Structure 1
Amino acid sequence: MLVALLSTLGALAGVATVLAVVAAAFVGSLARSFDTHAEAIPEPFPVGDRPAPSSGAENTLLIGSDSRSGLDPDGDHAAGGRSDTLMLAHVPADRRHVYLMSIMRDSWVDVPGHGQAKINAAYSWGGVPLTVQTVEQLLDVRIDHVAEIDLAGFESMTDALGGVTVQSPQDFTARGHHFVRGANRLDGEQALAFVRERYAFADADHTRVRNQQAFLRGVFDQVVSRRTLTNPGRLQEFVTATSEHLAVDPGLDATTIARLGWSLRGVRPDDLVTFTMPTAGGGTTPDGQSFVRLDEHDRAAISTALRSDDLQQWLDTRPR
């Protein structure tokens, strides 16, 4: 998800705000650790015509998948692997917020060269480049960076932080773990169960997406807390644990992340805004696949808001 990139960004951003007490050599060590352990995605972007770059704002596509570690949590044995989680991280030019929009993995969209299909099929058919192309076509905005996280890395990432507190919208049991409505303190194994589960919910992936957003917020809160930023050992362990399960485009190195992190030094946990791309019911294909219809009016409005760098205005008009 995804989570790792924003969390690593948050860690490096936090480091930048406490340079007075953290040695510059240690910051360099974190950067080297990220660049050493994070995998580079070869040719991550599509060729041919693409939307024009944004002016000041940055859009990063975050892909969460178990296929990189050979895991198959849902037991569907999807050929070629599928993107289990898809999020767009939008950082506006004013750097006052970070917006994280989840895109339902079963969203019915046009996949370039393949026609109508679930959006997660793009990863199976064409990997990261086709996934980027599909999202760019869907939203008519350019993806500046892309990061893929191995969901199995959530376990070591969470344990490196000493645990993460998440707010669950409901009680449920998943993979041998029970979660209560409200605050839950999770270790790595519990965190992995929390973000993967969908069968325990009547609305399946809808709640899973909300749980993933809750987990990301919990990680972000923990990363920028004083307990983490003033603990060099924990910070080093977290960056290493995260980057070992992360693949990024070649331009998204530690220097780029640190530069973006510095520009976001004024952002606080409450400035992280999470939401899901609105849907309009579901359907079933002739061969029996269930899919989710995106709300076309909202899709067009989000596209306009992203291009004009005014996503907050669109959110303000949405019912609470």
Structure 2
Amino acid sequence: MSTPADSDPSGPGSSGNPGSHRPAWLAALGRRRWIAALVVLALVVAAGVAVFSLSRGSKEAQPAATQTQSPSETPTPTPTPTPSETPPPAPAPPPPPAPIPDLPAAPMNILVIGSDIRGGTPARDAAAHTAATGEPQDQRADTLMVVHVPADRRNLYLISINRDTWVDIPSVGGAKINSALQYGGIDLQTATVQQLLGITIDHTLMLDFGGFKILVDGLGGIDVNVPIPFQASVETQHVFPQGMNHLDGQAALEFSRERYAFSDGDFQRVRDQQIMLRAILARLTAGGALNDVNAVRSLVDFASCCLTVDRGFDPVQAAILAYSLRNLDVNAIGGMTLPTAGSGFIAGQSVLFPDYGGIAAVGAALREGRIGDFARP
């Protein structure tokens, strides 16, 4: 993850072959015999030197008798063994990795954006263009989720915001909340969420469809417990039976995007997106992988292929945050959807009206460390 200049989002490209880069953190998770284990980051030392014995057994030291030998024949002398060469010294082990510092014991809010950009342009490039020129780009926030990280880092709270929620976007006016990304990139999308909830967003992460598939495939797939069976209405129309499913990147994307298969549409979709994020966190923390400093650094390096981040979230900060979650209890992760006050139409658009009283209560709970009263496992 590279720091953008002049507040432009940045990050390496989201294209590539996930199979060609198997990061070290991959196998660290595989110690628990996951189906597609992550590549372990360990030292392998193999050295072997063949050494001749300087003294052989008594039978070996004497000449071998044959049926054609006569008693008067002089025994064939045994060649003097040649001492073996001195083996080379074993290479010195590498120095231990530098420790990763702990984060200060303070809560943190992280905004996660899933861009719906199409046509092969990475979301980071479109957002950077908007930030530099002010020109809108054809991308909106398909996913909007505030991840609240408490000071003790032992659990997380996921607050999903329905993308059709009608809000006031700073300097734009009334619009669906997901269009803030189109008009002003991740900076405007972040400012809109902060204004709605009355909170501070400490960091913002954005991922587009292609980057999401790369990350899931890089993990070897994800095990997801599907609550409602359905068939996707997009792309491959993957069939999801109820219960545990092992999903590759394409199937995971279709699971996270689907809304038409459900009677409550986007509401089930945001619940499924939270299920997906829990599954990813479970894979990343399995087997104590985040206790391994090298694995954490390798994870951050791998994820940089696909993520767009705010300018204050450099690789060092990302590694510190990942390491701070090493004691995360994935079963304690709470989730909720920001309350709305019904649906309707504005300017021909189907929208959800915000429940400002309920939203204010959620914002206060986030500021005061009481969000567990609303977002439950």
Q: Does 1:291 align with 2:351?
A: yes
Contact 1:156 / 1:241 at 8 angstroms: preserved in 2?
A: no
**How many Å apart are 1:295 and its aligned residue?**
2.1
Q: Give the corresponding residue for 1:267.
A: 328
Which of 196, 208, 228 is the equivalent residue of 2:257?
Answer: 196
Q: Give the corresponding residue for 1:306.
A: 366
Against the structure 1 CA distance between its residues 145 and 234, is the aligned structure 2 distance closer, same or farther, given a 3 Å change threshold?
A: closer
Q: Give the corresponding residue for 1:211.
A: 272
**How many Å apart are 1:58 and its aligned residue?**
1.0
Contact 2:97 / 2:294 at 8 angstroms: preserved in 1?
A: no
Which secondary structure does the structure 2 equivalent of 1:284 belong to? strand
**How many Å apart are 1:140 and its aligned residue?**
0.8
**In structure 1, what is the Cα distance between the partners aligned to 2:146 and 2:216?**
22
Q: Give the corresponding residue for 2:202.
A: 144
Q: Give the corresponding residue for 2:214.
A: 156
Amino acid of the structure 2 residue aligned with 1:304: A
Q: Give the corresponding residue for 1:250.
A: 311
**In structure 2, what is the Cα distance between the partners aligned to 1:189 and 1:214?**
16
Write out aligned runs for 1:63-74 (5 A).
Answer: 63-67=113-117, 69-70=120-121
Size of the aligned set, in residue pairs, is 271
Which of 169, 176, 179 is the equivalent residue of 1:118?
Answer: 176
**How many Å apart are 1:185 and its aligned residue?**
1.0
Q: Which structure dedicates a bigger proportion of its chain to strand?
A: 1
Q: Give the corresponding residue for 2:112.
A: 62
**How many Å apart are 1:271 and its aligned residue?**
2.7
Q: Give the corresponding residue for 1:186.
A: 247
Against the structure 1 CA distance between its residues 233 and 181, is the aligned structure 2 distance closer, same or farther, given a 3 Å change threshold?
A: farther
**In structure 1, what is the Cα distance between the partners aligned to 2:197 and 2:366?**
8
Amino acid of the structure 2 residue aligned with 1:200: A
TM-score, normalisation: structure 2: 0.63
Which secondary structure does the structure 2 equivalent of 1:290 belong to? strand
Against the structure 1 CA distance between its residues 282 and 264, is the aligned structure 2 distance closer, same or farther, given a 3 Å change threshold?
A: same
Which of 138, 146, 159 is the equivalent residue of 1:88?
Answer: 146
Q: Give the corresponding residue for 1:167.
A: 225
Residues 222-279 of structure 1 show CA distances to partners (whole Å, capped at 9, x for unaligned) of 1112296799999888655532110111221222123233333321211322221122
Which secondary structure does the structure 1 equivalent of 2:141 belong to? coil
Contact 1:108 / 1:116 at 8 angstroms: preserved in 2?
A: yes
Against the structure 1 CA distance between its residues 176 and 315, is the aligned structure 2 distance closer, same or farther, given a 3 Å change threshold?
A: closer
**In structure 2, what is the Cα distance between the partners aligned to 1:166 and 1:307?**
31
**In structure 2, what is the Cα distance between the partners aligned to 1:261 and 1:216?**
15
Comparing 57-66 with 234-243, greater Cα deviation is found at 234-243
Q: Does 1:104 align with 2:159?
A: no
Comparing 224-233 with 164-173, greater Cα deviation is found at 224-233
**In structure 1, what is the Cα distance between the partners aligned to 2:261 and 2:96?**
43
**In structure 2, what is the Cα distance between the partners aligned to 1:292 and 1:71?**
29
Against the structure 1 CA distance between its residues 239 and 187, is the aligned structure 2 distance closer, same or farther, given a 3 Å change threshold?
A: farther
CA RMSD of aligned residues (A): 3.4
**How many Å apart are 1:220 and its aligned residue?**
1.1
Against the structure 1 CA distance between its residues 273 and 113, is the aligned structure 2 distance closer, same or farther, given a 3 Å change threshold?
A: same
Which secondary structure does the structure 1 equivalent of 2:268 belong to? helix
Q: Unmatched 5+ residue regions in structure 1?
A: 1-10, 16-20, 32-54, 73-77
Q: Which structure dedicates a bigger proportion of its chain to helix?
A: 1
Residues 23-66 of structure 1 show CA distances to partners (whole Å, capped at 9, x for unaligned) of 797978xx9xxxxxxxxxxxxxxxxxxxxxxx921111111103
**In structure 2, what is the Cα distance between the partners aligned to 1:259 and 1:233?**
12
Structure number with greater Rg is 2
Amino acid of the structure 2 residue aligned with 1:255: V
TM-score, normalisation: structure 1: 0.74
Amino acid of the structure 2 residue aligned with 1:180: P
**In structure 1, what is the Cα distance between the partners aligned to 2:294 and 2:320?**
23
Amino acid of the structure 2 residue aligned with 1:170: I
Residues 168-212 of structure 1 show CA distances to partners (whole Å, capped at 9, x for unaligned) of 221111132100122111112211211122222222211111111
Against the structure 1 CA distance between its residues 158 and 84, is the aligned structure 2 distance closer, same or farther, given a 3 Å change threshold?
A: same
Contact 1:118 / 1:291 at 8 angstroms: preserved in 2?
A: yes
Contact 1:153 / 1:241 at 8 angstroms: preserved in 2?
A: no
Contact 1:222 / 1:228 at 8 angstroms: preserved in 2?
A: no
Which secondary structure does the structure 2 equivalent of 1:84 belong to? strand
Residues 298-319 of structure 1 show CA distances to partners (whole Å, capped at 9, x for unaligned) of 2011111111122113447xxx
Amino acid of the structure 1 residue aligned with 2:283: Q
Contact 1:93 / 1:309 at 8 angstroms: preserved in 2?
A: no
**In structure 1, what is the Cα distance between the partners aligned to 2:197 and 2:271?**
21
